[in-house]
Homo-oligomer: A and B are copies of this chain.
Amino acid sequence: MSVSRVVELEGHIIDSGMMEAAFSIVMDHGGSFDVEEFDIGRQKDQESYAKMLVTAEDEETLQRIVHDLHQRGANPADPNDAQLEEAPEDQVVPHGFYSTTNHPTQIRYDGEWVEVEDIEMDCAVIVEADESADNDAGVRAYTKVLNAIEEGDRIVTGDAGIRVQPPERPRGQEGAFGFMQGGISSERPSESTIEQIAEAIEETKREDGNVLVVAGPALIHSGAREDLARLVENGYVDGLSIGNGFAVHDIERDLYGTSLGVNTETLDHARHGHKHHIYAISEIIREGGIEEAVESGKLESGVMYQCVENDVPYVIAGSIRDDGPLPDTITDAVEAQNAIREQARDADMVLMLSTLLHSVAVGNCLPSTTRVVCVDINPATVTQLLDRGSAQAVGMVTDIGTFVPILAENLLEEGAVELDD
**Which chain A residues have a beta carbon within 8 Å of chain B's beta carbons?**
14-17, 19-20, 23-24, 27-28, 30, 32-35, 38, 40, 42-44, 63-64, 67-68, 71, 91-93, 97, 99, 122, 145-147, 171-172, 179, 186-194, 196, 218, 221-224, 259-260, 262, 264-267, 271-272, 274-275, 277-279, 281-282, 285-286, 317-325, 329, 331-334, 336-337, 340, 357-358, 360-361, 364, 377-380, 383, 397-403, 405-406
Contact = CB atoms under 8 A, between A and B. Distances in A.
Most buried by B among A171, A321, A325, A331: A321
Contacts of A277: 122
A360 B267 CA distance: 25
Contacts of A331: 332-334
A222 B188 contact: yes
A188 B324 contact: no
Contacts of A337: 320, 322
Nearest to A96: B279
25 contacts: A14-B19, A19-B19, A28-B172, A30-B172, A33-B42, A64-B271, A91-B285, A186-B218, A188-B221, A189-B264, A190-B222, A192-B265, A192-B267, A318-B334, A319-B320, A319-B361, A320-B336, A320-B337, A320-B357, A321-B361, A377-B377, A377-B397, A377-B399, A379-B379, A402-B402
A275 to B, nearest CB: 5
